[in-house]
Amino acid sequence: MIVATIRVQVTRSKRQEMLQTLQALTESIRSEPGCLNCRFYLEVGNENALYVVEEWKSRADVDTHILSRDFSVLFGAINLLHGPDAVEFQLLSSLAGLEAIDALRARAKAAQSEVLVD
């Protein structure tokens, strides 16, 4: 799974317009081939920072999305309303679930037990 995150810093006067754009696009993005989910959030403590979080089956699906009409509309709105300097885009391709946390904690506990035995 690939996760794409977009953080947009908006001005107070443009926040509602950006929220409306995101709301209009999320259902359409969710229906794109390979999209597992698409959500948007407001940052706690900074109501002018908006996050779009997209989950995709593969990198090819993300690439197709980036070339899609929906992404063009989103990116166009971001550039028109806020400019590229207000945007952070990240792709995360190495993801693990809770089992990775459990395994790490088990290894740390085992290592601590070995230290106590020595």
Domain ranges of the chain: 2-117
| Radius of gyration from C-alpha coordinates of the chain | 19
pTM for the model stands at 0.74
* CA end-to-end distance (rounded Å), the chain: 42
CB atoms within 10 A of CB 28: 15
Other residues' Cβ atoms within 10 Å of the Cβ of residue 70: 20
Residues of the chain with pLDDT under 70: 82-86, 94-97, 100, 115-118
Q: State both tokens at 16.
A: 């509602």
Residue 97, pLDDT score: 67
Q: Which residues of 95-110 are buried (b: 16+ CB within 10 A; e: fewer)?
A: eeeeeeeeeeeeeeee
- Structure tokens that stand for 15 in this block: 């926040």
Fold of 2-117: Alpha-Beta Plaits (3.30.70)
Which pLDDT score is estimated for 87? 78
Summarize pLDDT for 101-112 with one digit per residue, the tens. 777 788 888 877
